Amino acid sequence: MSITITLPDGASREYEPGITGAEIAADISRSLAKAALACRIDGRLSDLSRPIETDARVEIVTAKDKAEALELIRHDAAHIMARAVQELWPDVKVTIGPVIENGFYYDFDRDEPFTPEDLETIEARMRQIIAARDAVRTEVWERERAIRHYRDNNEPFKVELVEAIPEGEPIRMYWHGHWQDLCRGPHLAHTGQVPADAFKLTHVSGAYWRGDAKNRMLQRIYGVAFRNREELKAHLTMLEEAAKRDHRRLGREMGLFHMQEEAPGMVFWHADGWALYRVLQDYMRRRLDAAGYREVRTPQVVDRKLWIASGHWDKYRENMFITEIDEEHAQEKRVYALKPMNCPCHVQIFNQGLKSYRELPLRMAEFGSCHRYEASGAMHGLMRVRGFTQDDAHIFCTEDQIESETAKFIGLLSGIYADLGFASFDIKFSTRPEMRVGSDEIWDKAESALEKAILSIRNDYEIDPGEGAFYGPKLDFTLTDAIGREWQCGTFQVDFNMPRRLGAEYVTPAGDKATPVMLHRAILGSFERFIGILIENYAGRFPLWLAPRQVVVATIVSDADEYAARVLERLRAAGLRAEADTRNEKINLKVREHSLAKVPVLLAVGRQEVEAGTVSLRRLGEKGQKVMDLDAAIAAIVEEATPPDLAQDRG
């Protein structure tokens, strides 16, 4: 009895049961068999050696299938690295080695720390393993056999992993040549399919076994891997550029902010950093006002009763900062939490007074200060903090208004991102998960409304099936920065659950009471993280309207001090963020220092400028200077420094 294999072009072929992807590729063409890395069986990525026993749709995966190829190459590179380490140091214990963004890592238990020279030695051994083209094979073992095998080989971490696998799940063993590891797979056909010139081990860090600080500290070796040498070179070049743009380094050089041990995950904003923060916040406030949002302010400390009612106490408590207070005349301590998000508090404002359908949609915005506990190892400058301010808003509307409100939000978000220097963005549409609340009818309506809203703006988006919130579908908006890195920033979620839990109602046209739909939305995400992204996107060289210090008036000689003061007064009167540098230092030193601080415009004034009523205008990053009449210079700077939304209004 034969089985039917359907190919991507719709053609079908008959084979005996047990046929493998490798054999199907060879039957199609010799060149395809040579290029094959893996196969998809009914859409699921699989080893080429996996037997196919029933009718199936099969697609052969090659290096042209970028996402799948990279997943396979990086997965095998992790195994090859672990094999190389154990061949070099047989006493080292191995744990886990997953694929991560752009590469892979593997955790090792070794008494001696790995050195940079060790990484070079490991890379060399990895290339030897790749050159050997050792076959990759797999077997499914019984649980007891796997446990016995790892105990006999003194691999306690693997024993623990096998014991944690749920009953009934297959325990799959993979061999890369003689070296064996526990893994779900899939993998390449042989070690030679990992490009020997397209990977690099990058660094070593500490990592607790299974992420628990109570467990043993391991050594994690990181690596990157790509399909070819050109892709690796491009990535390493990007990393070099990213290091130059690191917002933590630029934050110090520009005097924007700092962080310290006494307040982990909290930001100390310096004057220039806070100026940048306020410029961004003022811009966002104007855009929201114009879009019909009403700004509110809610408490930072709220009784746990509200968080229990909203559902956050059960699902989010471990990430909340909690405090207990001995209230007067209270029989027991009252428990409060610093709010990790704003949504339950916004429902409380909505609930004050009976709302009519005529008041919907009601767009409620808040620059809300929130606090969430992040593990110390997860924090990273402004990108991951414990205290932050969301550009948060919630739209209370009817079901029929979901589509139009979504479209308006995407339009607003698109304009804001363009103003901030991000001409394009990607949308990911996450649909209903298996565990959810609400009827299929409501989910159908919500997903259909979101999809129609996206298509009314653009026709390209990615579907992320099953990754929606338990209360509704969601959209994620991802920006690409100047060096090609992606940043997920904006979010939009449809919520049928929280308004009902917290008793939100409005009066319908028929006089009945109904529960509004709650649309959670953010554009920046948080001011802290988005400012970090802006710093790195612009490498600190902000457009003039965003720059914390827009102009510095620098004197060439002390005789120009009085004139510099008058110029500064004129600049500030024109609304510019300006300072004067009248130190008794040479002008070249002043130029260097203000260039390092990324000040966009420097106005140098000396005796000639004093006599002529002019300034010598220097722009950051440009050679030379331009002598201009003071009035003309100020007018030109003011025009360039006008925020985009105000410039449009003026035009």
Q: Which of 372, 386, 521, 618 is catalytic?
A: 372
Cis amide prior to 499 (ω within 30 degrees): no
Q: Report the distance separating Cα 583 and Cα 270, nearest Å.
A: 22
Using an 8 Å Cβ cutoff, are 579 and 549 in contact? yes
Q: Which of 180, 390, 401, 493 is catalytic?
A: 390
Q: How far is CA 311 from CA 305, 314, 317, 497, 612, in A?
A: 10, 6, 10, 10, 70
Q: Report the distance separating Cα 53 and Cα 206, nearest Å.
A: 44
Structure tokens at 50: 């996996």
Q: Report the distance separating Cα 82 and Cα 221, nearest Å.
A: 10
Label residue 648 exposed, middle or buried (CB < 10 Å: 0-12, 13-18, 19+).
exposed
Structure tokens at 83: 């094999």
- Start-to-end CA distance of the chain, whole Å, equals 76
Q: Between β-strands 334-338 and 322-325, what pairing exists: parallel, antiparallel or unpaired?
A: antiparallel
Q: Which of 158, 363, 394, 408 is catalytic?
A: 394
Q: What are phi and psi of 52, to 5 degrees?
A: -110, 120
Q: Which of 520, 521, 529, 618 is catalytic?
A: 520
- Judge whether 343 counts as a catalytic residue: yes
Residue found by looking up tokens 């083209």 in the block:
133
Q: Which of 392, 419, 476, 495 is catalytic?
A: 392
- Judge whether 397 counts as a catalytic residue: no
Side chain identity, residue 385: V
- Judge whether 520 counts as a catalytic residue: yes
Q: Between β-strands 626-629 and 614-619, what pairing exists: parallel, antiparallel or unpaired?
A: antiparallel
Q: Which of 190, 287, 339, 474 is catalytic?
A: 474
Q: Which of 39, 118, 343, 355 is catalytic?
A: 343
- Judge whether 246 counts as a catalytic residue: no
Residue 507 contacts by C-beta under 8 Å, 6 or more apart in sequence? 354, 355, 356, 357, 513
State the sign of the Cα–Cα–Cα–Cα dihedral 488, 494, 496, 501.
positive
DSSP state for residue 356 in the 8-state scheme: E
Element (H, E) at 108: strand 103-109
* Secondary-structure breakdown of the chain: helix, strand, coil percentages, each rounded to the nearest 5: 40, 30, 30
Q: How far is CA 15 from CA 8, 19, 189, 460, 469, in A?
A: 16, 7, 21, 39, 43
Question: b vs e for 47-79, b when ≥16 Cβ sit within 10 Å of the residue's Cβ?
Answer: bbbbebeeebebbbbbbebeebbbbbbbbbbbb
Q: Report the distance separating Cα 135 and Cα 133, nearest Å.
A: 6
Q: Report the distance separating Cα 350 and Cα 499, nearest Å.
A: 10
Element (H, E) at 116: helix 116-132
DSSP state for residue 420 in the 8-state scheme: T
Q: Report the distance separating Cα 622 and Cα 616, nearest Å.
A: 13
- Write out the catalytic residue numbers: 343, 372, 390, 392, 394, 474, 520
